[in-house]
């Protein structure tokens, strides 16, 4: 199977100044993280707020540059790819559908913008592709020339997904794409992600704090705690028998009781060896 995303020993620390002449403090965000995603796979990165999972996603999207380590996409170093080539390989779907799309543009314009920037297609083909995606993500065509403030939050997220797909990327980096939505809408968006994966042969790096969400969509799960990936494994195996104490604590704190599935027990209090605030 083709390895589409390969993250090797990536670390990043944020610099925080405490005074005008004092050296900056280093706040570790990600520590020596390694993860791979094969073509056609859905890999979820889970953890509590501040665990480093969104920072890891931003490094994959080149919104942040790692201090150490490498990220390769489709066999090429991510930083070596030109903007257009990168955009045709990787696209984001962000958490907040209210702020991730331009409120002053129509939905038609929002979806077409990445393709117009990339170039190489006529205006007619661009609109035809946008119309096709508009229907594929479940939006009625009567809304095609509407504005974002005229549609619901779930519909805004569908627009964001259509915009991400118009360049026909191989990898979608989805950073908490359902957390700002109602539970009923979350289920609809997850079903849409599954349908689009089959229709377009997509690969997902899925960032979430919601284990109930990732259980429905992920093939594999990576658990982050204080910037480190502390456990990785197949989704079924992870939910049946997590191995790391933090994973057990995470599961026992959020999983609803399901007949036949015992809740994991945490036998002792644990701490990672690396203290907060140290250099990665």
| Residue 278, pLDDT score | 39
Q: What's the pLDDT tens digit per position in 197-245?
A: 999 999 999 999 888 889 989 999 999 999 999 999 999 999 988 999 9
Q: What's the pLDDT tens digit per position in 177-209?
A: 888 788 888 889 999 999 999 999 999 999 998
Average pLDDT over residues 93-110: 88
| Residue 10, pLDDT score | 97
Q: What's the pLDDT tens digit per position in 104-144?
A: 999 999 999 999 998 888 999 999 999 999 999 999 999 99
Domains and CATH numbers, the chain: 3-82+90-98+171-254 (3.40.50.300)
Asked if residue 277 has pLDDT above 70, the reply is: no
Higher pLDDT among residues 266 and 148, named by residue: 148
Higher pLDDT among residues 255 and 182, named by residue: 182
Asked if residue 95 has pLDDT above 90, the reply is: no
Nearest Cα neighbor of 79 from 95, 61, 106 is 61
Nearest Cα neighbor of 137 from 91, 177, 195 is 195
Helices (H), 137-277: 153-165, 183-200, 211-217, 235-240, 245-254
Burial of 70 (0-12, 13-18, 19+ CB in 10 A): middle
pLDDT category of residue 100 using cuts at 50, 70 and 90: confident
| Residue 264, pLDDT score | 57
Average pLDDT over residues 165-188: 90
Average pLDDT over residues 35-41: 96
Distance CA 218, CA 206 (A): 8
pLDDT category of residue 174 using cuts at 50, 70 and 90: very high
Q: What's the pLDDT tens digit per position in 16-33?
A: 877 777 777 889 999 999
Asked if residue 44 has pLDDT above 50, the reply is: yes
| Residue 276, pLDDT score | 44
| Residue 203, pLDDT score | 97
Average pLDDT over residues 260-267: 56
The neighbour count for residue 216, using CB atoms within 10 Å, is 15
Nearest Cα neighbor of 7 from 85, 59, 81, 64 is 59
Contacts 24+ apart (CB under 8 A), 255-260: 255/211, 255/212, 256/212
| Residue 261, pLDDT score | 57
Burial of 261 (0-12, 13-18, 19+ CB in 10 A): exposed
| Residue 34, pLDDT score | 97
pLDDT category of residue 279 using cuts at 50, 70 and 90: very low
As a dihedral over the C-alpha atoms of residue 119, residue 123, residue 126, residue 131, rounded to 10 degrees, the angle is: 160
pLDDT category of residue 260 using cuts at 50, 70 and 90: low
Q: Which residue has the tokens 């690396």?
A: 274
């Amino acid at each position: 199977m083709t390895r589409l995303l390969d993250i090797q020993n990536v670390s990043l620390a944020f610099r925080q100044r405490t005074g005008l002449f004092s050296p900056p403090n280093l706040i570790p965000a990600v520590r020596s993280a390694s993860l791979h995603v094969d073509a056609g796979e859905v890999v979820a990165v889970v953890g509590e707020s501040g665990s480093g999972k969104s920072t890891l996603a931003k490094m994959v999207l080149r919104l942040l540059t790692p201090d150490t380590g490498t990220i390769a996409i489709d066999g090429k170093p991510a930083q070596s790819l030109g903007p257009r080539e990168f955009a045709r390989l990787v696209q984001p779907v962000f958490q907040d559908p209210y702020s991730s799309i331009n409120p002053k543009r129509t939905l038609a314009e929002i979806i077409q913008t990445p393709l117009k920037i990339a170039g190489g297609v006529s205006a007619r083909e661009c609109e035809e592709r946008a119309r096709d995606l508009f229907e594929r993500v479940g939006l009625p065509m009567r809304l095609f020339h509407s504005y974002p403030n005229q549609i619901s939050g779930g519909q805004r997220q569908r627009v964001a997904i259509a915009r991400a797909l118009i360049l026909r990327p191989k990898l979608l980096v989805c950073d908490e794409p359902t957390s700002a939505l109602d539970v009923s809408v979350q289920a609809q968006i997850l079903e849409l992600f599954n349908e689009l994966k089959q229709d377009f042969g997509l690969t997902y790096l899925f960032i979430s704090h919601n284990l109930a969400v990732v259980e429905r969509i992920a093939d594999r799960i990576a658990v982050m705690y204080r910037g480190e990936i502390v456990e990785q494994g197949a989704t079924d195996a992870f939910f049946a028998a997590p191995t790391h104490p933090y994973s057990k604590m995470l599961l026992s704190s959020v999983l609803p009781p399901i007949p036949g599935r015992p809740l994991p027990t945490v036998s002792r209090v644990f701490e990672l060896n690396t203290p907060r605030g140290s250099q990665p």
